[in-house]
Amino acid sequence: MNFYRTSNRFAELSAAVQDFVKNDLEPIGLRVEAQAHIPEEIVAKMRRLGLFGLAIPEKYGGLGLSTLEEILIYIELTKTNACFRSRIGTSNGIGSMGILFDGTEKQREKYLPRIASGQWTAAFALTEPNAGSDAAHISTAAVLDGNAWLINGTKQFITNADCAHVITTIVVTDEQKGARGGISALIIEKDMPGLTIGPADIKMGLKGSHTHELVFKDCRVPSDNVIGGMQMVGQGFKTAMRVLDKGRLTMGAAALGASEDLLDVCVKHVRGRMNSGQTAADLQSAHFDLADMATQLYAARQMLLYTAWLRDQGQNVSHEASMVKLFCTEMASRIADQAMEICESAGYKTLARIERHLRDVRLYRIFEGTSEIQRIIVSRNLLK
């Protein structure tokens, strides 16, 4: 029974995405990992499927999926190499959602259709060398100079900065006020003078998805590029937090997709062992691991889908989204470790599926708020 209703249109998209994963992404997963590059024809197919506009309303050229539907697509996409989801993820999420949530109508009309079509990629720049979890203490500053903002500072680890045309950038506009009215969200286009994008970071995982440093040196950005216009100057921290709240559900979905794939790999491995003569008693530890993995996955799927559904009912799910991110991403690391234990040498081989998932899922406990930050959010809510 489909407890959570999705539309007929979604059923078609979901089937098309499953075909895309099986026929286009799976066969090149290893090559993409080895070469750290997603071929352009795959990005073109993502555009044709509408994947860059999953969450953007139809009015602005997107597919206008509900949160629940979007999450179900991400679960499918992360059963294969995680970099494919990441390629579309910033455009559907942290890169564009600030413009959708708080942008002026003029800003939405200018940017969202280009992002939804995949013609433009959107990215999100908050993290700095001295401000990761402690996002309220960023120092990249924007000062008004006539009818432009003059930006100076450095951002780091910015996903998709190499292919981004537009970057939602969080800056300080009033140092004294800080997060309480002194931080703003700006829309910065990649060719605005004074912005330099550094080389790709060499990372442990998600090799086909790149992160970069951004250096702003007297970068000039039109004054009306504040998300929401001049009356929203100082409100950017709230915009960033709303964007991250939704992003945390996406991270839950990515962790769940990888974990479901890991369980599938392990079930096949254990069946193979049984077919070649090992008994249930020989494999008891693996059987117990499989049962534990499936049980955690069942719980994770329920909490993720229920929270997405709650959000679609108009509820503020900030608290629940943190619990989802914490539970699903910690679970994914446990499951990747158990999968390695079940498959041992076969899993440990470089670029083997388990090895890749093990590296990739570790990231989900870091970005969009580490596990400790989620614990702080949840416990603060409980105690206030």
Ligand X SMILES: Cc1cc2nc3c(=O)[nH]c(=O)nc-3n(C[C@H](O)[C@H](O)[C@H](O)COP(=O)(O)OP(=O)(O)OC[C@H]3O[C@@H](n4cnc5c(N)ncnc54)[C@H](O)[C@@H]3O)c2cc1C
Radius of gyration (C-alpha) of the chain in whole angstroms: 21
Query: Which amino acid, 70?
Result: E
150 burial level (CB within 10 Å; 0-12, 13-18, 19+): middle
- The dihedrals phi and psi of 165, each to the nearest 5 degrees, come to -100, -25
| Contact between 6 and ligand X per CB under 6 A | no
**Cβ(344)–Cβ(256) below 8 Å:** no
Kindly state whether residue 366 participates in binding ligand X, applying the rule CB under 6 A.
yes
Q: Which of residues 193-212 bind ligand X (CB under 6 A)?
A: 203, 206, 211
Using CB under 6 A, which of 323, 330, 367, 377 touches ligand X? 367
Q: Which is nearer to ligand X, 293 or 377 (CB)?
A: 377
The residue written with tokens 């509820």 in the block is 315
Q: Which of 19, 58, 175, 372 binds ligand X (CB under 6 A)?
A: 372
The reply to whether 368 belongs to the active site is yes
Scanning the chain, the segments in alpha helix (DSSP H) are 8-20, 29-35, 40-49, 67-77, 83-92, 97-102, 105-117, 236-275, 284-312, 318-343, 345-348, 353-364, 371-383
Using the rule CB under 6 A, which residue among 10, 157, 237, 309 binds ligand X?
157
> Does position 93 bind ligand X by CB under 6 A?
no
Distance CA 134, CA 123 (A): 20
Quick note: the x/- pattern for ligand X over 308-347, rule CB under 6 A, is ----------------------------------------
* CB nearer ligand X, residue 171 or residue 266: 171
Residue pair 371/330 in contact (Cβ under 8 Å)? The answer is yes
Which of 158, 339 has the CB closer to ligand X?
Answer: 158
Binder among 80, 91, 121, 127 for ligand X (CB under 6 A): 127
Which residues have a catalytic role annotated? 368
Q: Which residues bind ligand X (CB under 6 A)?
A: 124-127, 132-134, 157-159, 203, 206, 211, 363, 366-367, 370, 372-373, 376
